[in-house]
A = this chain, B = another copy of it.
Amino acid sequence: MDKKMFAFYKTRAVVVKAMAHPVRLYIVDELSRGEKCVCELTELIGMDMSTVSKHLSVLKNAGIVQDEKRGTKVFYILRMPCVMNFFDCVDNVIRELIQEQLEFIK
């Protein structure tokens, strides 16, 4: 794998990594149902607002969400709804894993 190729996969990894956290996956899921401000998400998640804000900036830097300031509030919007299709695949992976573990116990 040469430098250029590694750089290419590294760029892809930035986007994938941005979603590789339970809180950020929850945020993406929540935003797929419509925009939400940081305060609403903080309430839903039940963590420090600074923590939620940092998770949002990871998603924003990866191009997955965008923000929009209105008054004192900042609303976040899912910019790339195509990521949602991926979750069906992820859930299939999980189902197969559980199936396999069941076979193993038998």
Contact = CB atoms under 8 A, between A and B. Distances in A.
Contact of A96 (B63, B93, B97, B100): B63
Interface in A62-86: 62-64, 79-80, 82-83, 85-86
A46 interface: yes
A18 B82 CA distance: 20
Contact of A45 (B1, B15, B45): B1
Per DSSP, chain A at the interface is helix
A100 B17 contact: no
A91 B13 CA distance: 11
Nearest to A100: B63
Interface of A: 1, 5-6, 9-13, 15-17, 19-23, 25-26, 29, 44-46, 62-64, 79-80, 82-83, 85-94, 96-97, 100
